[in-house]
Amino acid sequence: MRSRRRPARESLPPEWRSPWWPVFDRPHDPRPPRRRPRIERLVDRVVPSGTGRRTTLPGTGGGPEVTAYRYEAPDRPRPSGALVWIHGGGMVMGAPWIDHRLCDRLARELGLLVVSVDYRLAPEHPFPAAVEDCWAALAWLHGRADELGVDPARIGVAGASAGGGLAASVAQLAHDRGVPLAFQGLVYPMLDDRTVLREDHGGRGEMVWTPAHNRDAWGWYLGHEVRAREDRAYAVPARRTDLTGLAPAWVGVGSADLFHDEDVLYAERLRDAGVPLELVVVPGMPHAADMVPGLVAAQGFRRSFVAAVARALGEPTVERQSE
């Protein structure tokens, strides 16, 4: 049975209020999400994808084929940069269609090839299924860079929420496997299962993604309840002890987000390890506020992310070419 709670959005500051919040701020349901394939296929067909086209990528290591969307402008320069984008949804929900507009914008405005991964979801497919699917997309870009017209020195990975956590895991994999990665964009990323073990969240996580949502999602993804020890590499990116040598990062989160503390700590650890880093913290911003239509207060956050992608993966300037 779904739990009832007083909507925290009623106490939001004026700049964060929107009539669209009820679409995003849903009551917690402790039951595993039900897959509704017919509805999902219908939504996938009716939501405009812009330049996006559905495609299938080969799996890696004997894994299954991976469904993805490929976005590119007709006049994309070749070679161009490329970005693997990973959608959010707590590892248990979501699909590429929720980010069609963003991926199309990145492709059109920045001249990139963008690949958005329709990765396998928990609890039907716990770790490492999602990481393997996202890794397959990055491996595909590198393996076919010449054919695709992609500069292998300008390939990055990014994602929001759970997708940001998966992007961090893929960045770690890329480092360990010697695959060049120019950028990791972590948008209010879901990085650390140990947040579930904390009792005091400082009033954060009252909207959209609550401690109850987080507890259930991590349990379904990991295949067990969160515990003090988790030794599987890449399952929980924040548990990695050595962050040296990882790709340059952009990390963004709101101060009202449940993930605020774990995101800021991971960013500080990246910086301490010598990783080039930009950290953006927006005062008062709840989780996923940049996805709420018409919310002007969040537009600067989205612009900051797009600008970071442009600097890392866009057309090289004369200065960058001479470095």
* CB-based contact 91:190 (threshold 8 Å): yes
Contacts (Cβ under 8 Å, ≥6 apart) of 228: 194, 197
- With residue 83 as reference, give the H or E element that holds it: strand 80-86
Task: Specify the pairing of strand 113-118 against strand 66-71.
Answer: antiparallel
Number of neighbouring beta carbons within 10 Å of residue 144:
13
Rounded Cα distance, 26 and 219, in Å: 20
* CB-based contact 241:294 (threshold 8 Å): no
Q: Which of 49, 80, 116, 161 is the catalytic position?
A: 161
The beta strand positions in 144-260, using DSSP E, are 150-160, 183-187, 249-254
Compute the CA torsion angle 281, 286, 289, 290 (nearest 10 deg): 10
Rounded Cα distance, 31 and 58, in Å: 32
In the annotation, is 161 catalytic? Answer: yes
Rounded Cα distance, 276 and 246, in Å: 9
Rounded Cα distance, 282 and 88, in Å: 19
Q: What is the DSSP letter of 207?
A: S
In the annotation, is 257 catalytic? Answer: yes
Rounded Cα distance, 186 and 171, in Å: 10
Per the structure block, which two tokens stand in for 145?
Answer: 């860079």
Task: Compute the C-alpha angle 65/70/75, nearest 5°.
Answer: 150
Please confirm whether the linkage preceding 48 is cis (ω < 30° from 0).
Answer: no
Per the structure block, which two tokens stand in for 161?
Answer: 């929420």
User: Which residues are identified as catalytic?
Assistant: 161, 257, 287
